[in-house]
Amino acid sequence: MRRTGHRAVLTAVVLLALWTVSGCSRQEPEEEWVPAQSALQAPKEGPVTETLIETLDEDYYDSAELEKMVRDAVSEFDSANGPQAVEIISFTAEGKAVNLTLNYRDMDAYNDFNQVKFFNGPILEAQMEGFLFDCEFYHVDAGMVDSDPLPGEIPLARKQYQVFISDTLHAVEVPGDIVYISTNAKLLGSRVAAPADEAAAEGGYLYVIYEF
């Protein structure tokens, strides 16, 4: 499979064949966001949703084989972690294009299934989990991104904020208004950020800081 997404379940299953995101919001999203790239969506309450958009290398796998691998991996994980810890919402394949949507019971289920360490919650808890915020940030105000980067100490001082931390191969939709994004991100909407064009090649973490 030629990777256009990340190392999570779709790529891992194909390549390895194992199961080896205070107060009231300021504004409502203008309209429902439909991912056009691999993405994570975290509501204020409820499961984390992942969309994986991949290109299948048919020299190695066909869509039916891939779907079976994914379903087997989810079934095995749920058997060990409880029903619907991970749930397949949809799987479609048209030509070489594969689109998979998964619901995870919570961020812990996402991390365990994909063997990664992502985070969604208060900034202080993220620090306690070991995330360093060792990058620069852009301030976001009313959907506008400042051009001058700020050191990580600036958003870290705002302990009332929440943060969604993922890899640089996912777009991210958060359940509040974005107030800071790491400089390897770009803003797509008041609650949506995506990796900057060069971010995927550089790796690391994408930080999206928001407020309710």
What's the pLDDT tens digit per position in 60-88? 667 888 899 999 999 999 999 999 999 99
Same structural domain for residues 123 and 192? yes
pLDDT, residue 180, reads: 98
Cβ proximity of 43 and 29 under 8 Å:
no
The radius of gyration computed from the CA coordinates of the chain, to the nearest angstrom, equals 17
Enter the pTM of the model: 0.83
Q: Which residues constitute the domain of residue 130? A: 119-211
Checking if the pLDDT of 12 tops 70, the result is no
Same structural domain for residues 42 and 87? yes
Give domain status of residue 27, yes or no: no
pLDDT, residue 14, reads: 35
Give domain status of residue 26, yes or no: no
Give domain status of residue 64, yes or no: yes
Q: Is 203 helix (H, G, I), strand (E, B) or coil?
A: coil
Mean pLDDT of the chain: 85
CATH of the domain at 49: 3.30.200
Domain stop point among 114, 149, 173:
114
Same structural domain for residues 123 and 204? yes
Q: Which helix (H) or strand (E) holds 11?
A: helix 9-16
Angle of helix 63-81 versus helix 9-16 axis, rounded to 10: 110
Q: Tell which residue, 92, 19, 110, 104, has the closest CA to residue 56.
A: 92
Same structural domain for residues 93 and 168? no
Give domain status of residue 91, yes or no: yes
Number of domains, the chain: 2
Higher pLDDT pick, 190 / 54: 190
